[in-house]
Amino acid sequence: MLHSTFGNASVSPKYSEITSVVGKEPPSGLELASCVDASQAPVTVGCFPFPLDPAGADPTGVDVASRPDVLVRTADVGINQLRVLPSLRAILPVIDASFAHGAAAYPTDELHLPVRSREALAEALSELRPMIERLRTLPASIWASTDPRLLLLARLSVRERPLQPRRDPRVPETVRFPDEAIFPGLGLMAERLADQGFLRRVFFDRLTVCPRCASARLSLRELCCSCHSADLKEQAIIHHLRCSAQAPEQDFRQGSRLVCPHCRRDLEYFSVDYDRPGSVLVCGACGHASSDSAVGYVCLDCAAEGDAEQTSTRPVWSYELTEAGRCQVLSGFPLPEADGRPIRERVAAFLAKAKTSREPACILVARLHRGARPARDWEQVCGLFGHVFAETFTIDTETIASPPIFLAFLQGDSKEDVVAELPRIRQALESLLRDPPEADYGVYGLEDVEPLLAGAAG
């Protein structure tokens, strides 16, 4: 434990609070100074890489009481390589003092020290002070929790910031959450928390993605609408006013001169002899000419090619903590189980429930066919269908919308009843849609559910 005084005038003494160090001793030049400021509790700093447990036997052995307030990275080691409690990893702010790869190397770090000095560190700590105050108010149960969802909420709550995606051309999705380094599978987790009301989706961007591999690393370019070559060149249209010959420039071009292909006269004066009333895109591959062009994509990841209209789009959200999410963190209660369990689990749960109740039960499955619908239209149709689908059944009927598949768990109805009712159900569904999609319907009795489970998994 190091104590020294901090007499530097450039740092307000109020914030240059002093610090106890857990674990490894800081490298020279970063001696942690202690400035006695009675109004503030001292900050505990953990410098890593460290064995928090000096014996190094139990990586999570550090007890919550002796946890540091801040972690300082002193060497080029990723946070995931730290053998600490998941809560520490998720919640504690990190100051990067490794000077290893610059700011880009550790995107989850809160601050990067510009120079190796006590002053810099003290300033960083004072900047992090509000965050430290907040994390000190977290209930003990949070520190003991291993539920990544709860820890994610706590992380956002302490930092008072949304979960913000960042553009990253190195991943096929082209955006990712920096926090994913700490929470693997963060995207899905955030979606479920949003469904449960703990996070609020805020629109970030919409990605155009490859219909085959969902990569957003697509190259879009204009194509010849006849042969789909990208070898297009824009050419002026020339109108010879005198003889009303009108054609793309190449028909007129003879070296540096323009000669009318019809009357063989030289075209000399623009707007007297001739006009350029428009332009065409001429294909170098097949010679086709048109003022408009097709737009095609090529996927940089799987090399799939096609018409841009066949691509799908996917919204990307950032997520804000809702009031419910904040309460959850402050209470420290465990999170309820999400209903975003995979379809498979929910089917299995329904099956178990139906078996115990001894009532007849079955599952109605609708599968929509996209056909040639453009992506936006398709999303709209799926959304609308899901809405109508859920409203078609009684209010306590559990339904799942997982486009293009929609399920309804029908308790109390036998398969035969539902099959007989199917035309009516179908009609009711489709009468509410202006442009109903093509759909298959299937009814599965309890004895059929096993193959369905296999299907849903696949």
Partner 1 sequence: MGGLAETLGTSWRLLWELPGWSVIALFWLTFVAELPRYFLGVQATAAMLLFRERRRHGPIGPLPRVSILLAGHNEEDAIEKCVRSLRQQTFNDFEIICVDDGSTDATFEIMKRLRREGLVEAAIRLDLRGSKPSALNLAASVARGDVFVVVDCDCSFEPNAIEELLRPLAEDPALAGVAGNILVRNWRKSIVSSLQGIEYLVSISLGKAYADVLGQVACISGAFGAFRRRPWMRVHGMDTGGGEDFDFTVRLRMAGYKVAFARHSICYTDVPDTLYALLRQRHRWERDTFWVRMRKYKRLFNPFRQGFRWTETLHQWDFVLFNLLPTVVFPFYVTWLVTTYGGFGIVLLGSVSIFLLSFDVLFFCCALLVSGHFRYWRLLAFVPLFGPFQSYLMRLDRLYAFATEWIFSRSLRDNYTPQKIRDWATWK
Does 222 engage in binding with partner 1 (CB under 8 A)?
A: no
Cβ-based nearer residue to partner 1, 160 or 309: 309
Residues pairing with 316 in the sheet: 205
Q: What angle do CA 311, 184, 327 make, to 5 degrees?
A: 105
Q: In angstroms, what CA-CA distances link 77 with 72, 177, 445?
A: 11, 20, 55
- 71 makes contact, choosing from Zn ion, partner 1, none, with CB < 5 to 8 Å by partner type, with none
Q: What is the largest CA-CA distance in the chain?
A: 98
* Residue 259 Cβ vs Zn ion, minimum distance, rounded to whole Å: 9
Residue 366, helix vs strand vs coil: strand
Q: Which of residues 290-309 bind partner 1 (CB under 8 A)?
A: 290-292, 294
- 299 makes contact, choosing from partner 1, Zn ion, none, with CB < 5 to 8 Å by partner type, with Zn ion
Does 242 engage in binding with partner 1 (CB under 8 A)?
A: yes
CB 136 within 8 A of CB 69: yes
- 237 makes contact, choosing from partner 1, Zn ion, none, with CB < 5 to 8 Å by partner type, with partner 1
d(CA 191, CA 201) in angstroms, rounded, equals 8
Does 227 engage in binding with Zn ion (CB under 5 A)?
A: yes
Among 263, 303, 349, 454, binds partner 1 (CB under 8 A): 263
* Residue 439 Cβ vs partner 1, minimum distance, rounded to whole Å: 25
Among 129, 212, 221, 341, binds Zn ion (CB under 5 A): 212
- 244 makes contact, choosing from partner 1, Zn ion, none, with CB < 5 to 8 Å by partner type, with partner 1
- 197 makes contact, choosing from partner 1, Zn ion, none, with CB < 5 to 8 Å by partner type, with none
Hey, what's the torsion of the CAs at 35, 39, 41, 43, to 10 degrees? -40
d(CA 344, CA 392) in angstroms, rounded, equals 23
Query: Of the listed pieces 12-20, 56-64, 105-113, 285-293, which binds partner 1 according to CB under 8 A?
Result: 285-293
Q: How many residues bind partner 1 (CB under 8 A)?
A: 27
d(CA 317, CA 332) in angstroms, rounded, equals 26
CB 189 within 8 A of CB 341: no
Does 283 engage in binding with Zn ion (CB under 5 A)?
A: yes
Query: Of the listed pieces 99-107, 208-216, 274-282, 408-416, which binds partner 1 according to CB under 8 A?
Result: 274-282
Residue 272, helix vs strand vs coil: coil
d(CA 186, CA 191) in angstroms, rounded, equals 9
Among 230, 247, 300, 432, binds partner 1 (CB under 8 A): 247
CB 253 within 8 A of CB 189: no
* Residue 252 Cβ vs partner 1, minimum distance, rounded to whole Å: 10
Token representation of residue 447: 């004895």
- 353 makes contact, choosing from Zn ion, partner 1, none, with CB < 5 to 8 Å by partner type, with none
Cβ-based nearer residue to Zn ion, 202 or 286: 286
Cβ-based nearer residue to partner 1, 203 or 269: 269
Cβ-based nearer residue to partner 1, 66 or 291: 291
Token representation of residue 169: 């051309």
Residues pairing with 44 in the sheet: 20
Query: Of the listed pieces 74-82, 192-200, 236-244, 418-426, which binds partner 1 according to CB under 8 A?
Result: 236-244
Among 78, 102, 277, 284, binds partner 1 (CB under 8 A): 277
Does 260 engage in binding with Zn ion (CB under 5 A)?
A: yes
Residues whose CB is less than 8 angstroms from the CB of residue 248 and which lie 6 or more positions away in sequence, other chains included: 235, 236, 237, 238, 280, 282, 289
Token representation of residue 266: 């030289």
* Residue 283 Cβ vs partner 1, minimum distance, rounded to whole Å: 10
Token representation of residue 174: 């082209």
CB 92 within 8 A of CB 182: no
Task: Please spell the DSSP secondary structure of 256-269, one letter per residue.
Answer: TEEB-TTT-PBP-S
Binding residues (CB under 5 A) for Zn ion: these are 210, 212-213, 215, 224, 226-227, 229, 240, 243, 245, 260, 262-263, 283, 285-286, 288, 299, 301-302, 304
Binding residues (CB under 8 A) for partner 1: these are 225-226, 237, 239, 241-248, 251, 262-263, 272, 275, 277-278, 280, 287-292, 294
